[in-house]
Amino acid sequence: MVAAAVSDSKPTWEAKPKPTIDLSPSTPSSTGFLKFESQLMSAIDQRLGSPYRWGATGPNRFDCSGFVWAIYQATGINFERESARSLFAHFEPPPVEEQFKFGTLVFFSGLTHVGVVADEHGFYHASRRHGVIYSEFNDYWLKRIDGFRRVPLNVQVAQK
């Protein structure tokens, strides 16, 4: 794949839309949830472009589950660092209407890969070939989705 420059000087596979903030009644509290979303987006932005390394949790290299773990740790949401398959077993599925909501975990390829939903158009993940990137939910990825999980936000979000 040949990377073409976009307005923010990042290769096309790193071009990323900001997710639409949804203040649905299912959010714990509007103020707390907005703060969490902002912190999560900041944690993702800080890691975009980082190289992939199997088993790595950062600070400069990540595998897919290490990336997910690191961005939630950065927001003050603590859980054990586990494989994609274990994270799928550990967390509860979201309601269908929240599957493509920012922050939802999305699992692929027989539970061997995990990313974080940006919105209904794409997700963030650590790609073996490109490192931490944004990818669109194209036919390739949509055919490989195994399911979705939500990380519970009942842990105090870190004050920054």
- pLDDT digits over 8-55, tens only? 444 444 445 555 444 344 444 455 667 889 999 999 999 999 999 999
Region 63-74: what's the mean pLDDT?
Answer: 97
Catalytic residue among 64, 90, 121, 130: 64
Residues in the chain: 160
The 10s digit of each residue's pLDDT in 130-143 is 999 999 999 999 99
64 is an active site residue: yes
| Domains assigned to the chain | 29-149 (3.90.1720.10)
Write out the DSSP string of 108-132.
ETTTTEEEEEEETTEEEEEETTTEE
User: Alpha helices, DSSP H only, in the chain?
Assistant: 30-47, 64-74, 84-90, 139-142
**Mean of the per-residue pLDDT values for the chain?**
83
pTM here? 0.78
Which of the two residues, 3 and 134, has the higher pLDDT score? 134
90 is an active site residue: no
Catalytic residue among 90, 121, 125, 130: 125
Record the tokens describing residue 147, joined without a space: 């399911």
Catalytic residue among 90, 113, 121, 130: 113
Q: Which of 32-36, 82-86, 139-143, 149-153 has the lowest mean pLDDT?
A: 32-36
